[in-house]
Amino acid sequence: MKSLASFIMRGPSQAALVAATSALLSVMIPVFGVVAAAAVGLVTLRNGARGGALVALFATLGAGLFYGLVFGTPLLVLGVLLLFWVPIWGLALVLRYSRSLALTVESASLLVMLGLVVVYAVVGDPAAFWARLLELMREAALAAQPDGAAASAALFGELARWMTGAFAMALTFQVVLALFLARWWQAQLYNPGGFGEGFRAYRLHRAFALLALLLIAGWALVRGPGLLADLALVAGVGLLLQGLAVVHQLRVQRGSGTGWLVLLYVLLVLLPQVAVVVAALGLLDVWVDIRARAARLPSRRR
């Protein structure tokens, strides 16, 4: 990964090549979308607004040419530009000047929340949009199992109601992950160990944590999918990251191994309930500062 970061930093054409190629590969393997955005983020972090914008522009032109030749329309690349490259460029600038991962994540979350409010204000019921989109999947499922029409209609109808929040949360997480990858690359090249120190010090502002708490409480009262649920899911990304920062810092403070940390990440992928527990830990840390309290305890190191 360090060699890839070095290649990206050789110049705008190399960075644009990585971003455009990764964006094309993301059609088949979505994780490459993170790499594409991180390439833009790395150049922006290191060289500033103009350098990052230049890479995003070159990558858009290159990917647009490919989309035009293969799919018949170069406009498909505009989705990548607007959803990933423009946000990562702006957030990288926030991180470049604030040097705060937490503030940058808060900015990303608030930006997506604003987008959700606009969508609900303009569209009214985004579930209807997802229902039309999911209908093709339902028809394919019915072709394989015709007897399950009623059950599939209920399942896909409920899925459509949650899709807006799930998409918003996934978008927030993907942009933040790309930014973290860009920051990690920057640290690998110019400040080894800097990313780990910055992440372990990650701490949300109490105003943002209070907003998240109010959204979660409102969701609990209203129950079910909707705007409050969607906003709460997006806010939960920042809380989850704070919980992980607490876990990483406690591991360093206590001198523990990495095996159980790997297990935690596996459980996060397999069991959504674990993510809720870690997010709750992050919310608690905002108010009681678990890391500072743990630092006062005797260390297990010899």
Gap between the Cα atoms of 221 and 135, Å rounded: 31
pTM above 0.95, yes or no: no
Domain boundaries, the chain: 1-98
Mean of pLDDT over the chain: 87
**pLDDT for residue 80 is more than 60:** yes
**pLDDT for residue 145 is more than 70:** no
Q: Residues with Cβ < 8 Å from 232, sequence gap 6 or more?
A: 212, 215, 216, 218, 219
Q: Identify the residue whose tokens are 């459509």.
A: 160
* Confidence band for 55, pLDDT divided at 50, 70 and 90: very high
Q: How many CB atoms lie within 10 A of CB 119?
A: 16
pLDDT 10s digits, 21-45: 888 888 788 888 899 999 999 999 9
Q: What percent of the chain has pLDDT over 90?
A: 56
Average pLDDT over residues 138-146: 63
The pLDDT, as a whole number, for residue 71 is 67
Q: Residues with Cβ < 8 Å from 153, sequence gap 6 or more?
A: 138
pLDDT 10s digits, 81-113: 788 889 999 999 999 999 999 999 999 999 999
The pLDDT, as a whole number, for residue 302 is 42
Q: Do residues 40 and 89 make contact, with C-beta atoms less than 8 angstroms apart?
A: yes
Q: Do residues 63 and 20 make contact, with C-beta atoms less than 8 angstroms apart?
A: yes
Gap between the Cα atoms of 249 and 217, Å rounded: 28
pLDDT 10s digits, 236-286: 999 999 999 999 999 888 777 778 888 999 999 898 899 999 999 999 999
